[in-house]
Amino acid sequence: MSEERLRIELEDAASASWWARILYTLSSQYGSTQLRFVGKSDDGSTLYRGETFPGPPLNRTPPREGWAPGMEECLRRLRSEIDGDGWVETGRGEQPWQISYTRPAAPA
């Protein structure tokens, strides 16, 4: 039996499209950006999108709840949705959001 794999990643919500980038830039405070957690499959497809929260620009300092308010709640909600769809946690990375999941693949 084959398995599907999923991993949670952090992304800059403005990277989704050009119009989103404009809206997030206009509405953000200086020095912050809108981040969100996403669940991606092995082929890079985004299967889950969490809510956005303000945080520092990506690739500088990993966000923490203290300066990225709402981060933990957004992660909790996304994990709840993933768990509800039958995914089972199989591993964790250095950051609290770096979580891997598997579930049996749907029959073809």
Q: Taking residues 12-27, what's their average pLDDT?
A: 57
**99-104 and 3-12 as β-strands: parallel, antiparallel, unpaired?**
antiparallel
Q: Where are the domains of the chain?
A: 3-104
Per-residue pLDDT band for 105 (boundaries 50, 70, 90) equals confident
Query: DSSP for 5-69?
Result: EEEEEEEEGGGG-HHHHHHHHHHSPTT-EEEEEEEEETTS-EEEEEEEEEEPPTTTS---TTTST
Q: What pLDDT digit, counting tens, does each position of 22-53 carry?
A: 554 555 554 568 899 999 999 999 999 999 98
Average pLDDT, the chain: 85
**33-41 and 3-12 as β-strands: parallel, antiparallel, unpaired?**
antiparallel
On whether the pTM is more than 0.75, the answer is: yes
